[in-house]
């Protein structure tokens, strides 16, 4: 149907092409609904990317219909997590007391990979790990059955009613050949074609490279601002970014306007997988009221608290990783607990194990904070995870992975993943970014703070002190994160490298936290 539609486009018969694309998209969306597991759904949507690109191009370029573009975008943006959120209440099952045989095998293989020393040994272990994952089955632990019929996106009018007068959603569609932005405010939806949009991915990477090298970002920051931020966005002080493709790697706060100011100085910015996902999180019924302020976990110990400059909370893969101590993490966890009040639980050093975390009443904490190492896998996002300290007798591998996270039924207003590259994952075409953020949102968290790149151990502790101080004074999380960054920039000077602060972003809703 998509091929036939493209022929109609070439012949100038755009309405007939639209009918064919619509039928093809309906069939694709129905197929997506039958696929279990977020990652499997995302992979399938990515395989149909050409269909969605051409379908959206027709509506955006030929028909210029903002509302039709919104619904077409929302069918695929964040679709895998939206499906799970809609079905979450009826499908969540409690985590089994013991690991299944397949899960035990995966834990054993992952531990062996972490300890492996030779390439040949790792190759054999990876083959065995893949087989064990196949045996476990697709979507296992992600929340039960998939849909029997595809769900419709949230209505545009509902999204608009949920926005404050000073808020706007900037929802992007950014394939390499042509890009546009849908600006949604309380009173209007505006379709904006983005100038100079070719080669977005290379330009984004150039900007991120400049940040990583602590080089001058004024040229790349201005270039991306002029290409990405519509002039009408200046009217709003609060911007919710729905990225697309390479834009998932971009901290919009570092873009520089015509006056030479970074967006962080003028706008509170946070992110969402889609407008529908944002609405689903905002309106999701709370299963229970939390009465514990925070669980703060750090793999550093009191014995290694002495701060050392230059240590990174780096992202590692499974193959023979060597994880350095995080001297500042233990004091960071205690700062979080002390700031948020009595009743907070702190796990540091030898207590910071996967088994110890799982024994906690995770559904009863308002805040979950993890100052640990991150595990990444750009090809197999299901292998990503938070890395805790070893506890061989527990039967756990010490890696808290998406399938395990999604077994929980969280009620947290905020989860902070104070580890490296936790906001970075595999981009699944128009569906979005399969990072460690998504399983926490799917499990019930309202908002997740995570990182786009490696974070400095010392600076992260300072940032988190300011961040939680603002939250304790009543600031919503995105406002608190912006204020904490600006305070540190003010303290250390305008030359403070964006590399230190810009990697921390918030995804989800920006609501004041109940005391």
pLDDT in tens, 467-494: 999 999 999 999 999 999 999 999 888 7
Least confident among 15-24, 323-332, 415-424: 323-332
Sign of the four-CA dihedral 298, 509, 151, 50: negative
| Residue 32 near residue 10, CB atoms below 8 Å | no
Q: In Å, how far are 261, 440, 478, 491 from 266, measured between CA atoms? A: 8, 29, 13, 18
Beta-carbon contacts of 15 under 8 Å, excluding residues fewer than 6 positions away, are none
328: how many CB neighbours lie within 10 A of its CB? 27
Q: Give the model's confidence band at 109: pLDDT under 50 very low, under 70 low, under 90 confident, else very high.
A: confident
> What pLDDT does 255 receive?
98
Tokens of 34: 């039958």
The DSSP letter of residue 115 is H
The whole-angstrom separation of Cα 319 and Cα 115 is: 8
The whole-angstrom separation of Cα 336 and Cα 71 is: 41
- If DSSP codes are grouped into helix, strand and coil, which group holds residue 75? helix
The whole-angstrom separation of Cα 435 and Cα 38 is: 11
The whole-angstrom separation of Cα 300 and Cα 416 is: 17
424: how many CB neighbours lie within 10 A of its CB? 23
The whole-angstrom separation of Cα 278 and Cα 367 is: 19
Least confident among 183-197, 239-253, 367-381: 367-381
Burial of 190 (0-12, 13-18, 19+ CB in 10 A): middle
Tokens of 400: 């808290």
> What pLDDT does 324 receive?
66
- Beta strands at 189-193 and 180-184: parallel, antiparallel or unpaired: antiparallel
The whole-angstrom separation of Cα 487 and Cα 107 is: 42
Domain boundaries, the chain: 2-85+149-275, 101-136, 289-508
Q: Give the model's confidence band at 323: pLDDT under 50 very low, under 70 low, under 90 confident, else very high.
A: low
The whole-angstrom separation of Cα 298 and Cα 448 is: 17
The whole-angstrom separation of Cα 71 and Cα 59 is: 11
Most confident of 58-67, 280-289, 355-364: 355-364
User: Per residue in 161-173, is it b (16+ CB within 10 Å) or e — as a string?
Assistant: ebbeeebbbbbbb
| Residue 63 near residue 18, CB atoms below 8 Å | yes
> What pLDDT does 99 receive?
59
Helix, strand, coil content of the chain in percent (nearest 5): 50, 15, 35
Strand partners, 505: 450
Domain 289-508 fold is Rossmann fold (3.40.50)
Q: Residue 180: left if φ>0, alpha if ψ -120 to 50, beta else—which one?
A: beta
pTM for the full predicted model = 0.88
Query: Which H or E run includes 475?
Result: none
Pick 161 or 312 by higher pLDDT.
161
The whole-angstrom separation of Cα 246 and Cα 97 is: 40
Q: Does the pLDDT of residue 433 top 60, yes or no?
A: yes
Q: Does the pLDDT of residue 368 top 50, yes or no?
A: yes
Sign of the four-CA dihedral 193, 195, 197, 202: negative
Structure confidence by residue, pLDDT tens digits, 374-387: 887 778 888 889 99
- If DSSP codes are grouped into helix, strand and coil, which group holds residue 312? strand
The whole-angstrom separation of Cα 251 and Cα 236 is: 18
The whole-angstrom separation of Cα 73 and Cα 154 is: 12
The DSSP letter of residue 63 is I
């Amino acid at each position: 149907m998509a091929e036939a539609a493209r022929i109609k486009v070439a012949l100038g018969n755009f309405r007939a092409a639209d009918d064919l694309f619509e039928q093809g998209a309906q069939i694709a969306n129905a197929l997506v609904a039958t696929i279990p597991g977020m990652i499997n759904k995302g992979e399938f949507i990515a395989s149909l990317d050409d269909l969605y690109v051409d379908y959206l191009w027709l509506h955006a370029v030929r028909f210029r219909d903002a509302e039709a573009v919104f619904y077409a975008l929302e069918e695929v943006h964040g679709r895998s997590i939206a499906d799970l959120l809609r079905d979450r209440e009826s499908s969540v099952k409690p985590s089994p007391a013991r690991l299944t045989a397949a899960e035990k095998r995966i834990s054993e293989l992952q531990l062996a990979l972490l300890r492996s020393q030779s390439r040949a040994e790792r190759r054999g272990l990876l083959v065995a790990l893949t087989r064990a994952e196949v045996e476990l089955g697709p979507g296992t632990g992600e929340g039960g059955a998939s849909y029997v019929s595809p769900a419709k996106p949230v209505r545009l009018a509902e999204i608009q009613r949920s926005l404050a007068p000073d808020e706007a959603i900037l929802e992007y569609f950014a394939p390499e050949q042509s890009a546009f932005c849908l600006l949604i405010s309380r009173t209007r939806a505006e379709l904006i074609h983005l100038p100079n949009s070719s080669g977005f991915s290379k330009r984004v990477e150039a900007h991120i490279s400049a940040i990583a090298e602590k080089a001058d970002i004024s040229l790349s920051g201005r270039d991306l601002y002029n290409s990405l931020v519509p002039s009408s966005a200046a009217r709003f002080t609060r911007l919710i970014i729905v990225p697309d493709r390479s834009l998932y790697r971009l901290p919009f706060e570092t873009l520089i306007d015509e006056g030479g100011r970074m967006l962080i100085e003028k706008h509170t910015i946070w992110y969402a997988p889609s407008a529908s996902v944002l609405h689903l999180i905002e309106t999701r019924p709370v299963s229970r009221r939390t009465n514990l302020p925070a669980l703060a976990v750090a793999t550093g110990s009191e014995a290694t608290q002495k701060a050392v400059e230059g240590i990174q909370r780096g992202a590692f893969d499974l193959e023979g990783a060597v994880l350095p101590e995080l001297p500042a993490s233990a004091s960071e966890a205690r700062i979080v607990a002390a700031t948020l009040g009595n009743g907070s639980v702190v796990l540091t050093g030898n207590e910071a194990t996967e088994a110890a975390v799982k024994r906690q009443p995770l559904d009863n904490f308002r805040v979950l904070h993890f100052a640990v190492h991150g595990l990444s896998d750009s090809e197999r996002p299901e292998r990503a995870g938070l890395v805790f300290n070893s506890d061989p007798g527990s039967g756990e591998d010490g890696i808290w992975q998406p399938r395990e996270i999604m077994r929980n039924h969280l009620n947290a207003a905020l989860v902070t993943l104070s580890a490296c590259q936790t906001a970075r994952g595999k981009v699944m075409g128009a569906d979005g970014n399969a990072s460690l953020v998504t399983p926490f949102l799917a499990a019930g968290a309202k908002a997740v703070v995570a990182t786009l790149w490696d974070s400095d151990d010392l600076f992260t502790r300072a940032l988190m002190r300011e961040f939680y101080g603002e939250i304790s004074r009543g600031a919503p999380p995105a406002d608190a994160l912006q204020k904490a960054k600006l305070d540190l920039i003010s303290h250390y000077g305008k030359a403070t490298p964006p590399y230190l602060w810009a990697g921390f972003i918030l995804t989800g809703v920006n609501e004041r936290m109940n005391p």
